Structure 1
């Protein structure tokens, strides 16, 4: 199978580097109306000074600021509707999300819901939606490196009533601008930094471990990005204020999800599916859930994509191929990945995530979508088996 045909465009304008918010935010907001809705999470931006910096800039630019806080780690559909209601009531002209993937994803869903009168879940999340309107414009200021949500239209939302956590990627929801200051990530707690860092690696692996297996640019870039993510995550753990490491992690997160390495690839994302449904039922941390699942999942599929797993072992994880069969090399690569997960302090079992004997793993497994891009066609029974092995 050769590289798939594709059309590529990314409409988000990125401003990267130390001081970029001070330098550009004021002029960027001039293109929009008077009312900005500031969207953020639990309020850590008030402790680290980012909130004051941003609100001062907006006020100096003559903007009316409407606040929407409390966006949770797995943003819910109810929270999206709450935000849309506030945006409509105040005739908001620009959404400004400050935070990580959860805030950005929630804002994208709000940008649709604030301009749409129908049932947003039914028409845009349950199935792919059609736009005959312009979503509310969105700008983002990134404070956590991980999801890469700043340069795509993707948003993962949890419908608590239906127990479904699902993502859609609409280019119309790409942020108009993204401000990436690596120093804004310094104050992120270690646990959050590490799980975000693993999410970067996971996104790249999900794309890499899929057809085509023939020589292609996307796989070449992916290998470099995976090595960079591993190297810089180690450096950032050693010194949380290592600007080089933080810059590289921030840009690797963006590169993993700005659609560049997805071009021509089938993509897997079965592991993300499994984690999303675990999250929908247990509200576990996304990066931690992925760390538990990936090695076990890969042991189930590696034989079906052996050349790629062998290449991952030698090119990314630095496994020596000497005196080993292809299978042994591939397995050594998965083991090296597992060792790295332990080294950076991520959990290795579902019990570590708070899953207990009362959790209905079969119900969760049955709720997982079966992704067409996996090297091995999954069944709900096999997914249940993976959950049990992870327990």
Structure 2
């Protein structure tokens, strides 16, 4: 394994009733809290009322930051930062999934940053020399694993760039994770979230070093768990065990654990980020469209690893098969899983209607240094056209 330094400061409270049991004690040192959430689903399912009631009972001053969109924009981040300053909020409490959590972490940084936030922390990797506003999160949708890292993926609409970096200083102070909170999530959102978790694991797994290492073995176990438990959750959306396993697997996929000693290939993520920046498509669904096609392009460059993926994740027998045949069978098993889960397989299904725009999007994609092979712009265009 390569050398590494591991850090994760988020304290996780997991299980039924954890919000009611722990939230009051977790916010006791903060008088004013910025309560952040998305487009209103938390008000429909009762989670908002429950949390606001706890905060009011504890005598907290509450300012609200709502309407955080699925792909949070830099403009929305600046709006939140201004609200922190105006309200005097000492903590940001996010209720929701990855978009809300990412936005909250970005706001926590932008509210305390004296220089231009985008230019100093998203356009390039910056150095944080100040304390961001503390963030706590209540997870209602699993998938991104954003609750256990310091990453905030943000879209700059003016520049047509979607990007993010993982800053440990922006890790949530705490994450409250009650799997029952995910029961009301629409099926399409549950499935796309689970696939996002799977994609995080695959993009770490398919990178060097490929020799025996603990990170790959953990990743294989997590991938098998997501595949199995998504199937169970689709059969019975109220299966608490399946939902809890999906929720925790999402956190483990992005709490930096499986990345230890790995270079990490996020080429597919970077391609999807630019698709989202131009089209505002669903992230997990975009990844589902891109992954099989991308892997068919790079399969020969990591043939042995793709063959291992087929054996150890999809449990495809290797007897009588070459590594190439086994590798291709593993990619086809992934594609079949995507179809059976009801995820889209073409960009047209995501609302991408203009073929000509794909050239511009491809030209805007960035290089992922951990990939088995560097894709030239021409090949990225080919992948987009094959996905169309």
Scaled by the length of structure 1, the TM-score of the pair is 0.98
Which residue does the alignment assign to 2:19?
21
Give the count of matched residue pairs.
388
* Secondary structure at the counterpart of residue 95 of structure 1: strand
Q: Spell out, residue by residue over 1:72-99, the C-alpha distance to the aligned partner (whole angstroms, 9 max, x if none).
A: 0000000000010011001100000000
Q: Which moved more, 1:319-328 or 1:343-352?
A: 319-328
Which residue does the alignment assign to 2:337?
340
- The answer to whether 1:55 aligns with 2:55 is no
Which residue does the alignment assign to 2:236?
239
Structure 1: gaps (5+ residues): none
- The answer to whether 1:69 aligns with 2:66 is yes
* Secondary structure at the counterpart of residue 75 of structure 1: coil
The 8 Å contact of residues 355 and 385 in structure 2, kept in 1 or not, is answered as no
Which residue does the alignment assign to 1:175?
172
Q: Spell out, residue by residue over 1:177-208, the C-alpha distance to the aligned partner (whole angstroms, 9 max, x if none).
A: 00000000000000000000100100000000
Give how far 1:358 is off: 5.4
The 8 Å contact of residues 137 and 175 in structure 2, kept in 1 or not, is answered as yes
* Secondary structure at the counterpart of residue 96 of structure 1: strand
Aligned-partner Cα distance in 2 for 1:375–1:316: 20
Which residue does the alignment assign to 1:198?
195
Aligned-partner Cα distance in 1 for 2:70–2:90: 25
Structure 2: gaps (5+ residues): none
Aligned-partner Cα distance in 2 for 1:225–1:232: 10
Give how far 1:322 is off: 2.3
Q: How do 1:289-368 residues align onto structure 2 when only pairs under 5 Å count?
A: 289-357=286-354, 359-368=356-365
Give how far 1:359 is off: 4.8
* Secondary structure at the counterpart of residue 241 of structure 1: coil
Which residue does the alignment assign to 1:274?
271
Q: Spell out, residue by residue over 1:346-369, the C-alpha distance to the aligned partner (whole angstroms, 9 max, x if none).
A: 000111111113551111011111
Which of 110, 114, 124 lines up with 1:113 in the alignment?
110
Aligned-partner Cα distance in 2 for 1:98–1:196: 16
* Secondary structure at the counterpart of residue 188 of structure 2: helix
Which residue does the alignment assign to 1:5?
3
Aligned-partner Cα distance in 2 for 1:140–1:127: 26
Give how far 1:130 is off: 1.4
Q: Spell out, residue by residue over 1:6-40, the C-alpha distance to the aligned partner (whole angstroms, 9 max, x if none).
A: 01111000000000000000000013x21000000
Runs of 4+ in 1 over 4 A off after TM superposition: none
Aligned-partner Cα distance in 1 for 2:321–2:355: 43
